[in-house]
Amino acid sequence: MPLTVKRLRETKVSGGKSPVHMVSAWANENDLVLGQVKVSEKSNEIAAIPKLLEVLFLEDTLVTIDATGCKTEIAIEITSRKAGYILAVKENQPQLYKDIEDEFRFAKQIEKQVSEDLGHGRIETRVCQVIKDFQFMSAETTQKWEGLKAAINIESVRKFKNSHKPKEMATWYYITSLEPNAKDFQKAIRSQWGIENKLRWTLDVAFSEDASRKRAKNASQNFSILNKIALNLLRNEKTAKVGFKGKRL
C-alpha cells in the first residue's frame, strides 16, 4: 500500500495561501485509492500521514512511503497495527543514511537480485541488494527504528537505444520491517514508483487536476475526493477498451 503526497498546483493564491497538498493511500494490487487526508496549511505532510494511517485497516499489509514519511513515529504506528513497512531513506535522516551507506560499502554478505526492463526505447537494469546482519549500524540506530530487520539498496542504470543520450544512474536506500527477500522488495518498491503513473499522472491528464483553480474553503479537497472515486470506478471498468478520457465520456 504506497502512500503519496500530491500538490494541487493551481490552488495556490499569489501572495496568499500555499497550494493544497493531499496525502493518499493507494492499494496497488487492486488499483484503488483507499483514502486521503488534506495537509493542513499550517502543518506538513509528516503530520497528515499518521492521520491517514489511523483510518485504514493495516493488519497484514505492506505500507511503502517515500522519504517524507521516514520517521520513527510512523514506523511505530505501522508495526503497532500489525503491518509491515518499507520506508525510503534520504539525507533528511542523516545518521541513518550514513549508517546504511557504510553497511553497503563494507558488508560481505549481501543478498542480491537483478531485473531488467526493455521498452520505450530504453533498457533499465535494477540491482536490489539486501542486508539483514548489521555490522556498521549502531545499536542506538537499530533500536530507534521499531521492527527494523533489513536495509535495502536499489541501483538503477538506464540506457537509451538508438540515442546519443548518456545513460542515467541512480541509487536509493530503504529500511524495512520485513524478512529479507530481494525479489519481493523489487516488486514492492516498484509499486511505490508506479503510483506516479497510476495515480498522479492519471489525475493530471485525465482529470486535469493540476489545472483546477478551485480554492474556496474545502472545494479542492471535495473535488479531489470525487476525482478519486471516479478513478476507482474507471480503473476497474474492464469492458471499454479505451483510455480514461474515453471511459469518462
Q: What is the pLDDT of residues 107-154, one digit of tens each?
A: 877 888 888 877 767 788 888 999 988 888 888 888 889 999 999 999
Number of domains present in the structure of the chain: 2
In a domain, 135, yes or no: yes
Q: What is the pLDDT of residues 187-234, one digit of tens each?
A: 888 877 777 777 777 888 777 777 777 767 778 788 888 888 888 888
CA distance 101 to 152: 10
CA distance 22 to 34: 13
Out of 132, 149, 179, pick the residue that ends a domain: 179
In a domain, 103, yes or no: yes
Q: State whether 93 and 151 are in the same domain.
A: yes
Contacts of 62 (CB under 8 A, 6+ apart): 1, 83, 84, 85, 86, 178, 188
pTM above 0.75, yes or no: yes
Residue 147's domain comprises 89-179
Out of 139, 154, 179, pick the residue that ends a domain: 179
Number of DSSP helices (H) and strands (E) in the chain, helices first: 8, 9
Residue 68, classified by CB atoms within 10 Å of its CB into exposed (0-12), middle (13-18) or buried (19+), is buried
